[in-house]
């Protein structure tokens, strides 16, 4: 262990403060981040620019309340902006030689173990979600044929394609939707484009479904989208994903959707992982999920490795960075009674439920105002189940079909094979989102059976829950809402996953890790 630091370290020489978008930020060019700061933080940075200071000397230099100065030092240190051993280690991760992106057309393909899918033509992938974005050649293939004789009379050529603006502000083209389904989906649940002109005429994103591809420095990882309402049937007779590599390479060569693994991989703001550490974490998580025997076990296996990695990092930081302790700053410890862990847990659940309620109600009203009742109905269903989840609703009086665990395990495995936690801003937040989908979806499965006055869940209940939540929670409005709850979701669903997984009142919530 390194020698503990008892004085506040100096500011790193390679960071700068500037105005960006009308706000003060500290720019870290090495880690490629901008951290919003206030005027007091700038004063603290100026005082530390000339070297280390004791907490008392820093307070005198800045001339601000001791507690306020301590908070700014904590923030600067959390974002690795002070000259510490940890910040040096983080910079080495970012300064490692960049790897040349692999060519997806020739890269090694790595396939998921234990997952398979064979299309049963359910039409479920064409419901309840935008189909796109379309590539220019996809658009041209649609436009070159007159589809009018093959579509209902009320579907005009103007309905075939629609333009919209994605969350990045980029205009994209999608297939048109009518009554919550693609305009090219016939009543018999088959694709009109495929039936009239053949599979090659369909957009690449349609032909590629349910494959997903994630490019990493070592190759391309193949996985599946779980947004298939017939997954429980399609997973039974489908081929091994490696059985038709030629098809996968065709989709990649055509420029189909290609996800990217960020490098380095962010574990949490201020803590990044090199690729070897992320891959070891992912493999440990995959092994635990595969071995789990029930949904609660899947949730625990999903969370445990990332939580342990961050806890170890946090413990090492506390041991080395004594300058952050309340004792070093002569700040009294918090009143334990006012910060009771159980009370805090329940208060956080209520607060998250209230924000989810307000946010999704606003989204639903916007959808209704825009003439999208089907979307509004799905939003209302998600709003209802999330509130039930965070307020502790249970459905213990139901028998669970044995296949339900297999379906939820598949959902988590597919996400891990696609590196989903690493692509959701930060790994801990990505794990929290995936855990929310798993456990709230498990609750929804029971609610669907209960609403239908059945005493047992079915495979279709589980699959419908997977599809609804995965589709809805990746929507831009939902992602914005959940992104604003990052800290709370990690605290509840990573720190305290045992409470939600077992459905019990919290006996002893996990020690807080100061993530916010």
- The DSSP line for 43-112 is HHHHHHTTS-B-HHHHHHHHTS-HHHHHHHHHHHHHTT-B--HHHHHHHHHHHSPPPPPP-TTTSPEE--
Same-domain pairing of 118 and 208 = yes
The token pair at 300 is 């625990």
DSSP β-ladder status, 211-216 and 219-224: antiparallel
Q: Tell me which residue of 25, 63, 57 sits closest to 43, measured CA to CA.
A: 63
Does 468 lie in the same domain as 389? yes
Report pLDDT for 406: 94
Could you tell me the CA-to-CA distances from 381 to 130, 284, 438, 474 in Å, in that order?
18, 34, 16, 15
Q: Strand 181-182 to strand 177-178: parallel, antiparallel, or no bridges (unpaired)?
A: antiparallel
Place of tokens 């004792």: 327
| Predicted local distance difference test score (pLDDT) of residue 456 | 93
Domain residue limits at 22: 15-95
Tell me whether residue 100 is in a domain. Answer: no
436 and 390 inside one domain: yes
pLDDT of residue 87: 93
| Whether residue 455 sits in one domain with residue 322 | yes
CA nearest neighbour of 76 among 251, 236, 270, 266: 270
Is 104 inside a domain boundary?
Answer: no
Question: Among 260, 284, 317, which residue terminates a domain?
Answer: 260
**3-state DSSP assignment of residue 377:** helix
Residues 79 and 213 reside in one and the same domain: no
Same-domain check for residues 51 and 120? no
Mean pLDDT by 10 residues, the chain (516 residues): 80 91 90 92 95 95 96 94 94 87 88 85 75 86 89 86 76 83 86 89 88 92 89 82 84 86 93 95 97 96 97 90 92 66 85 95 92 89 94 87 94 96 94 96 94 91 92 85 93 92 52 41
Considering the entire predicted model, what is its pTM? 0.89
Q: Are 378 and 128 in contact (CB under 8 A)?
A: yes
Question: Does one domain contain both 196 and 75?
Answer: no
Can you count the helices (H) and strands (E) in the chain?
Answer: 21, 13
Number of separate domains in the chain:
3
Strand order in the sheet with 33-36: 15-20, 23-28, 33-36
Between CA 266 and CA 63 the distance in angstroms is 35
Residues 374 and 464 in one domain: yes
Whether 213 and 309 share a structural domain: no
Using the 3D structure, point to which of 95, 123, 157 is the last residue of a domain: 95
Question: Are 231 and 280 part of one and the same domain?
Answer: no
Q: What is the 3-state secondary structure (H, E, C) of 386-442?
A: HHHHHCCCCCCCCECCCHHHHHHHHHHHHHHHCCHHHHCCCHHHHHHHHHHHHHHHH
Residue 3 placed within a domain: no
Q: Are residues 395 and 421 in the same domain?
A: yes
pLDDT the model gives residue 164: 80
CA-CA distance, 505 to 164, in Å (whole number)?
45
Q: Which of 48, 68, 95 delimits the end of a domain?
A: 95
């Amino acid at each position: 262990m390194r020698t503990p630091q008892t004085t506040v370290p100096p500011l790193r020489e390679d960071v700068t403060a500037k105005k960006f978008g009308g706000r003060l930020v500290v720019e870290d060019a090495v880690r490629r981040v901008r951290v919003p700061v206030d005027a007091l933080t700038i004063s603290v940075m100026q005082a530390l620019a000339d070297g280390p200071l004791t907490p008392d000397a820093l307070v005198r230099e800045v001339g601000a309340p001791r507690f306020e100065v301590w908070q700014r030092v904590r923030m600067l240190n959390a974002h690795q902006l002070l000259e510490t051993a940890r910040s040096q280690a983080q910079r080495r991760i970012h300064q490692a030689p960049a790897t040349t992106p692999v060519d997806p057309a020739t890269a090694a393909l790595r396939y998921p173990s234990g997952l398979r899918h064979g299309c049963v033509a359910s039409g479920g992938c064409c419901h309840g979600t935008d189909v796109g974005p379309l590539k220019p050649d996809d658009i041209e293939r649609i436009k070159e044929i007159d589809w009018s004789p093959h579509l209902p009379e009320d579907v005009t050529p103007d309905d075939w394609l629609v333009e919209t603006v994605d969350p990045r502000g980029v205009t994209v083209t999608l297939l048109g939707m009518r009554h919550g389904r693609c305009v090219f989906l016939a009543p018999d649940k088959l694709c009109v484009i495929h039936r009239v002109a053949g599979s090659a005429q369909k957009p690449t994103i349609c032909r590629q479904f349910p494959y997903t591809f994630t490019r990493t420095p070592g190759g391309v990882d193949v996985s599946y989208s779980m947004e298939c309402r017939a997954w429980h049937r399609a997973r039974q007779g489908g081929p091994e994903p490696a059985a038709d590599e030629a098809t996968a390479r065709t989709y990649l060569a055509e420029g189909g959707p290609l996800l990217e693994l960020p490098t380095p991989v962010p574990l949490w703001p201020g803590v990044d992982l090199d690729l070897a550490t992320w891959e070891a974490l992912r493999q440990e998580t995959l092994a635990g999920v595969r071995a789990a025997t029930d949904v609660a076990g899947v949730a625990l296996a999903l969370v445990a490795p990332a939580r342990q990695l961050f806890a170890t990092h946090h413990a090492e930081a506390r041991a080395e960075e004594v300058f952050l302790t309340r004792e070093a700053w002569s700040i009294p410890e918090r009143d334990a009674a006012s910060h009771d862990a159980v009370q805090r847990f329940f208060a956080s659940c209520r607060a998250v439920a209230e924000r989810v309620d307000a946010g999704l109600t606003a989204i639903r009203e916007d959808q209704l105002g825009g003439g999208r009742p089907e979307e509004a109905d799905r939003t209302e269903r998600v709003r209802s189940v999330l509130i039930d989840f965070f307020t502790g609703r249970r459905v213990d009086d139901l028998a669970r079909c044995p296949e339900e665990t297999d379906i939820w395990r598949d959902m988590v495995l597919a996400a891990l094979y696609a590196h989903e936690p690493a692509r959701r801003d930060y790994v801990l937040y990505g794990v929290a989102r995936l855990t929310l989908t798993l456990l709230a979806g498990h609750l929804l499965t029971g609610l669907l059976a209960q609403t239908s006055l059945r005493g047992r869940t079915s495979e279709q209940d589980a699959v419908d829950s997977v599809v609804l939540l995965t589709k809805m929670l990746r929507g831009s409005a939902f992602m914005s809402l959940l992104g604003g709850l990052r800290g709370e979701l990690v605290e509840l669903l990573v720190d305290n996953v045992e409470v939600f997984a077992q459905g019990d009142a919290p006996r002893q919530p996990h020690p807080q890790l100061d993530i916010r």
